[in-house]
Chains A and B, each alone.
Chain A
């Protein structure tokens, strides 16, 4: 919200500095985001009288002039300006001057003749015709001939001002106006607030009600509608003071009637509209929902086809305005307009927003309505508009008007206690202070024995209950008065993380210990990624939840797997010459329960891992995965089975089973997937369904006593077919090894000259130990022969 300091001062006597005012506003909830110092740059531009104009000896297009700069003496100025004349008073930038845009002017020489400054245009002073007549001409600004000489022009033209850009919170729509801010300033500074003049003279012979009919058919969208007739309008330029006000808010002056509606919007915060009555068919206004397909051309000459959700103002035949958004071209104020029907109304803010958004048509009015206009302002707005008509003496005001209100307008009354209010704050604000603050904020306060009866000002539709009152008090009393306490009346609670939450942190620490960097990537991805990864269209991974309004195709679907994201992170690092890395992410994936999305989707946690670089291979990632699983699933059987996940290398990937439950897969990324992502090095990755895995976590750890009897070790080397895998051997050994077998450890696999083709030699170490006795050699030999027997029978293995 932009608020010029000069305008603010009209309603409050402000005797403090700009900085002090900023601080005051800040502490009561109105942060000044920026203070724009208008005309601050302008310096040493003074009023001068042109004494003589002569031809430049060396240039046809230049003139040599002499000017009287008052106390600065007589100056010679070289100019190319054409609109100057002897005797004219003009602004001259003297040596060392600064223009509005910050540009500096110094003495110089033009074509061999010295020049002691520069004549200025309106633009160079940062103004246009609305500020000073003639300021928009393409040439030098000609000033009033009565102006004294040698005086700073910005003083003469009253250019200097400060415009505050104030951040108004969404609950304070009443402060979306100069008036609203002024009320706050008056309260904060404890100064009286001067209400703008709302009086106007009427013409007894003119009656709105006898001239036109106004009907609100859809009161749910139009809570209050005031319509007032003004006849015999003289369409003309607005007076300078009005133009300047609008200029300071960045609004172009059009004519007196349009300017008045804009002025009221800025000052009161009430959007206004003016219809040319001659264009209103049947002298009738109807406020209703549009018919589907109904058309309107708005003031800016754009045509819209409407639907039933849009509210329109219609005459007997057709829409003449898009309610709250913009008037129709068919009834706009023109040079020929003589009778005007003013509209001051409040329209449902969500309806205005929807219409404005759906049609892509925005205006200052719609922006204002979207924030919410209170019912009280509707009345203030029309009165102020009529007051200005009176002041500008540009029309005859009807003696009555329509005021159609959905319900009676009444001040809200809040009954509460000082105790309740102070209870919210936690401090004891004295009763007299409470009374004073609320009175300054225009509440009517009755305080009896700690009971507060508060009549709320009409414009404060945000006030509902004692917490609102508490906020009003503390923002004026000052938050610095809040004394920190630590839940002195609260119960003691036993906080902390649940076991599950702790486990999450621990599993991350294990990975960090293995040298992994945790990453966080976006939950939404591109659908295309899933084709790159070769996930079947019918696969579960392809059942996406899609966003209705994504930021782009790349962020359009909620991911169902973390793998593409982490592989993309690998590709990102390889491109930046980070050739080695270990990454993981623990995050959610999202799966719909039903296609129509009528139920909450399922969110599951997944853990993705990726490693890449010279030192990594299938077995390093297996080591990390296995190590992690062993740490958290102690005692459970962990098995690895060749995987057929489509994005993985068909012979270098494995599914992981913990206690018989498939918890995920890992291995080398399929080379054709790598290729599609421009990755020319092997990437090893893993995805674990953490939601499944965490159910398998083992908390109980039973420690077995270390046997005091010596272990017996045996090494075996066996010859088996190439297709026999290590797990088969381990299973056979465990099956036949007897109760004292405590460990089976692989130490060599050999293929080559010494071994028949199609076979391999597998060497492993066996450890036997008993907790009750020293094992004798004969016993161990017995175990070994039963192991060998089993290996032979099950796998056709031979001892080497």
Chain B
């Protein structure tokens, strides 16, 4: 009997070995373990076994059954694994094919730079104020110490709408409007579109500036230097240096042009800085006493700092853009290059 059982187990193992799919395995399993299966038949034969042997016989059949079932289960596991593997193989994709989520858009480079500048100064306690683009002669010129006969009126070619209204040629009116409406301490940035009748590879009739203004007790050129040092480190890189040189603006006295060490060659001299190692980026100075007084601020108690910079210029330097027109053409291939954070 023992031998017969061993033979059945051996046969089962050999039969299972030959199977290569789940369905055949199932059919085979039915042949051994199904209602009419070989082992089921053995169980049915129990009634013919002597009662005193039944216990031992039963155990033997059970052991056999367990053994055979395990054989089938193992095979089943293996086949399922194989089938899964096969399915996964069939599901292969070319992982280098392009993804199909919509591509990210982009903020305009001028606004990327504007936002960076605003962030840099907001961290130093500045607020943002935007004035009108169509402004009056008073705010654009007179209140900035540029009276009607002043030669500085020729410094920019202004677009006029009426004798009194014009497209602001700079964001400096933002200074005046702020001082009229706010008591010191004042720390503001005034960004926005400005307009001058100028049109070539480095000038656009519409461009963007940011004006900065600080009015407080005892502020000096040293503070201007400190603020701008901090600013250029954030906008360019942390090794960037600033250089002041004397200049003239009617609304500041003293006035300075501010150069930064060239971000491309780090001061060694290259085509960007025309070999000087320095790039002019903004004009600044101590707010002219007359401008403070005209806006109702006591110049004996307070002093002010102001700076104004062209966003296009900084953007062009930062990203190596050679023609200002590129910024206003709306070419998607250009704009898409700014779609990274």
The smallest C-beta distance from B159 to any residue of chain A, in angstroms, reads: 5
B199 proximal to A (CB < 8 A): yes
| B246 (CB) vs chain A CBs: closest residue | A29
Q: Does A601 contact B (CB under 8 A)?
A: yes
- Taking a contact as CB atoms under 8 Å apart, the answer to whether B335 and A517 are in contact is yes
Residue among A353, A520, A550 facing the most chain B CB atoms (10 A cut-off)? A520
Interface presence of B1 (CB below 8 A) = no
CB neighbors of A among B192-221 (8 A):
193, 195, 197, 199, 205-206, 214, 216-221
For B327, give the chain A residue with the smallest CB separation: A520
The answer to whether A548 and B162 touch across the interface, beta carbons within 8 angstroms, is yes
Tell me, in angstroms, the Cα distance from A495 to B230 when the chains sit together.
16
| A495 and B126 form a contact (CB under 8 A) | yes
Q: How far is the CA of A509 from the CA of B112 in the complex (A)?
A: 12
Q: Contact between B125 and A471 (Cβ–Cβ < 8 Å)?
A: no
A438 CB–B CB distance under 8 Å: no
Give A427's nearest chain B residue, CB to CB: B222
Per-residue B-contact encoding for A502-525, CB less than 8 Å = 1, 0 else: 000100110111111111111110
A residues near B110, Cβ cutoff 8 Å? 520
| A residues 326-344 in Cβ contact with B at 8 Å | none
Q: Known: A485-B223, A572-B329. Is A490-B185 also a contact (CB below 8 A)?
A: yes
Q: Establish whether residues A424 and B328, one from each chain, have CB atoms under 8 Å apart when the complex forms.
A: no
> Cβ of B121 and Cβ of A513 under 8 Å apart?
no
Query: Which residues of A (536-578) have their CB < 8 Å from a CB of B?
Result: 545-551, 555, 558, 569, 572-573, 576, 578
Contact of B136 among A470, A583, A600 (CB under 8 A): A600
Contacts of A514 in B (CB 8 A): 102, 105
Tell yes or no: A670 within 8 A of B by CB: no
Given contacts A424-B220, A547-B160, A603-B132, contact A484 B255 (CB under 8 A): no
Q: Which residues of B contact A551 (CB under 8 A)?
A: 197, 199, 205
A495 lies within 8 A of B105 (CB): no
| A493-B187 in contact (CB<8A) | yes
Interface residue? B151 (CB, 8 A): yes
Q: How far is the CB of B331 from chain A (nearest CB, A)?
A: 7
B5 at the interface (CB under 8 A from A): no
Pair A471/B107 contact, Cβ less than 8 Å: no
B244 at the interface (CB under 8 A from A): yes
User: How far apart sit A353 and B244, CA to CA, in the bound complex (Å)?
Assistant: 32
A370 partner residues in chain B, CB cutoff 8 A? 151, 154
Question: Can you name the residue of chain B whose Cβ is closest to the Cβ of A517?
Answer: B335
Decide if B34 is an interface residue (CB 8 Å cutoff). Answer: no
Contacts between the two chains (Cβ within 8 Å), count? 250
Q: Per-residue CB proximity of B236-269 to A under 8 Å, as 1/0?
A: 0000000111111010011110000000000000
Instruction: Count chain B CB atoms within 10 A of each CB in A349, A489, A576 and give the residue with the most.
Output: A489
A723 surroundings in chain B (CB, below 8 A) = none
- Assign chain B's interface to a size class: 35 or more
The answer to whether A483 and B222 have CB atoms under 8 Å apart is yes
In the complex, whether B78 has a CB less than 8 A from a CB of chain A is no
Rounded to whole Å, the gap between the CB of A46 and the closest CB of chain B is: 34
Q: Would you call B336 and A517 a contact (CB within 8 A)? A: yes
- Encode contact with B along A403-425: 1 for CB under 8 Å, 0 otherwise: 00000000000000000000111
A494–B125 contact, CB under 8 A? yes
Cα distance, A136 to B244, chains bound together (Å): 47
Q: How far is the CB of B181 from chain A (nearest CB, A)?
A: 14
Interfacial residues of chain B within 114-142, with CB under 8 A of chain A in the complex: 115, 118, 121-128, 132-134, 136
Known contacts A467-B253, A474-B254, A583-B330: A519-B335 contact under CB 8 Å: yes
CB distance from B112 to the nearest CB of A (A): 9
Supposing A426-B222, A573-B331 touch, asked if A518 and B128 sit within 8 A by C-beta, the answer is no
Residue contact B128 to A169, C-beta cutoff 8 Å: no
Interface size, chain A (Cβ < 8 Å)? 89
A26 at the interface (CB under 8 A from B): yes
A423 touches B220 (CB 8 A): yes
Whether A488 and B223, one on each chain, are in contact in the complex, defined by CB atoms closer than 8 angstroms, is yes
Decide yes or no whether B152 CB sits under 8 A from chain A: yes
**Cβ contacts under 8 Å, A600 to chain B:** 132, 134, 136, 165
- What is the chain B residue whose CB lies nearest that of A505? B115
A178 within 8 Å of B by Cβ?
A: no
Could you tell me the distance between the alpha carbons of A573 and B332 in the complex, rounded to whole angstroms? 7
Check A474/B332 contact, CB under 8 A, given A489-B216, A505-B115.
no
Distance, CA A505 to CA B116, complexed state (A): 12
Complex alpha-carbon distance, A495 and B167, angstroms: 28
Write out the residue numbers on chain A whose beta carbons fall within 8 Å of the beta carbon of B193: 523, 587-588
Q: Is A372 an interface residue (CB 8 A)?
A: yes
A486: interface (CB < 8 Å): yes
Pair A578/B328 contact, Cβ less than 8 Å: no
The contact of A26 among B187, B225, B245, by CB within 8 Å, is: B245
Asked if B335 and A484 make an inter-chain contact with CB atoms under 8 angstroms apart, the answer reads no
B220 touching A601, Cβ below 8 Å: no
Q: How far is the CB of A288 from chain B (nearest CB, A)?
A: 20
Most chain A CB within a 10 A radius of its CB, from B106, B136, B229: B106
The complex places the Cα of A492 from the Cα of B123 at a distance, in Å, of: 11
What's the least CB distance linking A697 to chain B, in Å?
A: 18
Q: Which 5 A-B pairs have the closest CB atoms?
A: A426-B220, A426-B222, A29-B246, A350-B149, A471-B254
12 A-B pairs with C-beta separation under 8 A: A29-B246, A349-B151, A423-B303, A426-B222, A474-B221, A479-B246, A479-B256, A490-B185, A547-B160, A569-B330, A573-B330, A578-B331
Question: Using a CB–CB distance below 8 Å, which chain B residues touch chain A?
Answer: 102-108, 110-111, 115, 118, 121-128, 132-134, 136, 148-152, 154-155, 159-162, 165, 167, 185, 187, 193, 195, 197, 199, 205-206, 214, 216-223, 225-227, 229-230, 243-248, 250, 253-256, 286, 288-289, 303, 327-333, 335-336, 339
Can you name 12 extra interface pairs (CB under 8 A) apart from A497-B122, A497-B128, A505-B115?
Answer: A29-B246, A423-B220, A423-B303, A427-B222, A474-B221, A490-B218, A509-B107, A511-B105, A518-B108, A548-B162, A572-B331, A603-B132
